[in-house]
Amino acid sequence: MSLYLCVFDGEQEMEGIEVGSYASFNSFRSYVVREIEGGTPGSSFPTLVLHSDSDGEWPLQDCVRLRSELGSIRATMVGRPPVTPADGFSGPPPENALESFRDVDGQLLVERMQTLVEVAIQRGRPILFQ
């Protein structure tokens, strides 16, 4: 089963990310907990880490917090060594941890999530989990 994150404005989809499997998304969040939060889930990034991946949505107020969290995560991951993600991306070898986590299209997951968050904030809409 795969996870799709998206922003709708009325009936029209504004942006979406085919994240990949739930295991892949949880591998990313587990990395954040283990390597950036020092093993304490939600201590630094509660909006990303503590939200259930099947809980429906990140409401607009969470998107504002998520924007800050993803910026910090991105800055930290760029300076960390690459890891082997759950789904084993088959593109060029990652040069750092940020490049280790990609969506199904091979795009950097954190950067795609940052774009999704910006669209959600600009449109005043939640991010939906589908």
- Determine the Cα–Cα distance for residues 83 and 67; give it in Å rounded to an integer: 23
| Closest listed residue to residue 24, CA positions, set 41, 3, 39 | 3
**Taken in order 68, 70, 76, 78, is the CA torsion positive or negative?**
negative
- Between the alpha carbon of residue 42 and those of residues 54, 92, 93, the distances in Å are 17, 31, 29
> Over the stretch 72-124, which tens digit does the pLDDT of each residue have?
999 999 999 999 765 555 667 899 999 999 999 989 999 999 999 999 999 99
> Over the stretch 61-86, which tens digit does the pLDDT of each residue have?
999 999 999 999 999 999 999 997 65
Query: Average pLDDT over the chain, rounded to whole?
Result: 92
Has this prediction a pTM greater than 0.85?
A: yes
- Between the alpha carbon of residue 117 and those of residues 98, 99, 101, 108, the distances in Å are 17, 19, 17, 14
